[in-house]
Amino acid sequence: MYVHRTLESTLIKASASFPVVMVTGPRQIGKTTFLQHCAKNDRRYVTLDDFNERALAVADPELFFKRNPPPILIDEVQYAPELFSYIKIICDKERKPGLFWLTGSQKFHLMKNISESLAGRVAILDLLGLSQAEIFKSPWAQAPVLPTSEWIELSREHAVKECTLMDLYKRIWSGSFPQIALDSTVDRDLFYSSYIQTYIQRDVKNIANITSESGFFTFLKAAAARTGQLLNYADLARDADISQKSVKDWLSILETSGIIYLLRPYHNNVVNRLVKTPKLYFLDTGLCSYLTRWQSPESLEAGAMSGAILETYVVSEILKSYWHNGKQAYFNFYRDKDGKEVDLIIDQNNTLYPIEIKKTANPLKNAPKNFGFLQNLKQNIGQGMVVCLTDKDYPLSRDINAVPIGYL
């Protein structure tokens, strides 16, 4: 069963303007299925997971393109960086949009080759797991999240109805990979066990010289236990039994391969008491729950990570609403040295929109009390919202609303 993706309309627009479109994202996220659906059999398809095709692409790129002329979809293109200079030659000769659709799971290597060969010729789109909107409602209704009256009104019309507490935590526990999000018969633990093994063996080893798979797995589990928290490099290094340099290098690997998202703190020259440490979020809550060994949605909801995993889910859903619309996500959080914090700030049109995330169905009027500290930043402050477990939106103050998670 194909689930329509929000990114479809952005892909078509990008392909009408650029000769090359690159879709990046983690493995098993649905990149190939998505592009094949949009191609509608109008372009050739070649995967470089096929060793014969890969060998030809590496050894003789010119012959590869004589056999496979554009328009073409090339899957896992990072395996043959030799193709990029030939793609550039073809683009400059043909001077047409939509010649190449490319996918890749190793953004670290891809971006290096793209910046050297295809600058100005390629649109880069990021695809994450299925969003809540894609699973339950029309993806075309998933506008980038912004706590304005207009966005709230639009989202109210398309709100997800299946949003009881345990429905929500079942989605969080299962995760957003299409294979597992859409098929309840798939063995979740077997899926994630196989996924991690494949990820470490095929991607991590290609990105960095990691000799101990078990050591990296220990680090991965230690990182998952810190989702939704400020990064403490020394603590993470101690728990994973590695150096702080390795922590920073390995976090970079997780970030570039789409496993984690590092939310940077807001800072400017006006306030010098702001923290400079990022917060860590896993981009798939199912993978995070598996790594931290929660055996059921019920145990996850009642456990020590309940609030952090909910915050992780909300941040990832908001991030998808931007990336899946082809938009840059200008996200930060606010935290000063007195511990005053705002979970998420969206910087849009020179205005800061604050968002707080609460595991409550009835947030108090003072739930967004820290929003007032943003005035110290000397920036325009827009409407804010508290994303929570309420059934419907309602005002907490003149400029702040409580908003259901089902609106995302």
* Claim to verify: residue 267 and residue 149 sit in the same structural domain: yes
Residue 206 belongs to some domain of the structure? yes
Q: Are 147 and 383 in contact (CB under 8 A)?
A: yes
Taking the CA atoms of the chain, what radius of gyration do you get in angstroms? 22
| Dist. CA 263–CA 355, nearest whole Å | 14
Q: Are 218 and 272 in contact (CB under 8 A)?
A: no
Residue 378 φ/ψ region, left for φ over 0, alpha for ψ in the -120 to 50 degree band, beta for the rest = left
| Mean pLDDT computed over 176-191 | 92
Residue 88 belongs to some domain of the structure? yes
The two structure tokens encoding residue 207: 């990105």
State CA 16 to chain mean position distance.
25
Question: Is residue 252 classed as helix, strand or coil in its secondary structure?
Answer: helix
What band does 162 get if pLDDT is binned at 50, 70 and 90? low
Residue 248 belongs to some domain of the structure? yes
| Dist. CA 342–CA 333, nearest whole Å | 6
Q: Is 145 exposed, middle or buried (0-12, 13-18, 19+ CB in 10 A)?
A: buried
Q: Are 383 and 353 in contact (CB under 8 A)?
A: yes
* Claim to verify: residue 146 and residue 54 sit in the same structural domain: no
As a whole number, the mean pLDDT across the chain is 89
* Claim to verify: residue 166 and residue 115 sit in the same structural domain: no
Q: Are 313 and 341 in contact (CB under 8 A)?
A: no
Question: Is residue 320 classed as helix, strand or coil in its secondary structure?
Answer: helix
The two structure tokens encoding residue 255: 């970030």
Residue 2 belongs to some domain of the structure? no
| Dist. CA 393–CA 389, nearest whole Å | 10
Tens digits of per-residue pLDDT, 262-281?
999 987 655 555 678 899 99
Q: Is 271 exposed, middle or buried (0-12, 13-18, 19+ CB in 10 A)?
A: middle
The residue among 126, 143, 172 that closes a domain is 126
pLDDT at 52: 95
* Claim to verify: residue 102 and residue 144 sit in the same structural domain: no
Domain of 98, CATH number, reads 3.40.50.300
* Claim to verify: residue 120 and residue 137 sit in the same structural domain: no
User: Which ranges in 137-277 belong to alpha helices (H)?
Assistant: 149-157, 165-174, 178-181, 188-198, 205-207, 213-224, 233-240, 244-256
* Claim to verify: residue 142 and residue 120 sit in the same structural domain: no
E-strand ranges in 288-336 read 331-335
Q: Is 210 exposed, middle or buried (0-12, 13-18, 19+ CB in 10 A)?
A: middle
Tens digits of per-residue pLDDT, 355-400?
999 999 888 777 777 787 777 777 888 999 999 999 899 999 888 9
* Claim to verify: residue 11 and residue 147 sit in the same structural domain: no
* Claim to verify: residue 105 and residue 245 sit in the same structural domain: no
Tens digits of per-residue pLDDT, 134-153?
988 776 667 899 999 999 99
* Claim to verify: residue 54 and residue 166 sit in the same structural domain: no
What band does 67 get if pLDDT is binned at 50, 70 and 90? very high
The residue among 96, 126, 156 that closes a domain is 126
Q: Are 67 and 59 in contact (CB under 8 A)?
A: no
* Domain span holding position 57: 7-126
Any idea of the CA torsion for 189, 193, 198, 204, to the nearest 10 degrees? 120
pLDDT at 368: 72
* Claim to verify: residue 213 and residue 183 sit in the same structural domain: yes
The two structure tokens encoding residue 260: 């984690």
Q: Are 125 and 23 in contact (CB under 8 A)?
A: yes
* Claim to verify: residue 122 and residue 201 sit in the same structural domain: no
Q: What share of the chain has pLDDT > 90, as a percent?
A: 62
Pairing outcome for strands 380-381 and 351-357? parallel
Any idea of the CA torsion for 253, 303, 239, 215, to the nearest 10 degrees? -50
Counting the structural domains of the chain, the total is: 2
Residue 33 belongs to some domain of the structure? yes
Closest CA to 353 of 363, 337, 368, 338: 368
pLDDT at 398: 87
| Mean pLDDT computed over 321-348 | 90
Pairing outcome for strands 100-104 and 72-75? parallel
Give the H or E element holding residue 286. Answer: helix 285-291
Query: Which pTM does this prediction carry?
Result: 0.93
The residue among 90, 107, 126 that closes a domain is 126
Q: Which of 101-110, 255-264, 331-340 has the highest mean pLDDT?
A: 255-264
Handedness of CA 76, 81, 83, 88 (dihedral sign): positive
Q: Are 384 and 371 in contact (CB under 8 A)?
A: yes
Residue 1 belongs to some domain of the structure? no
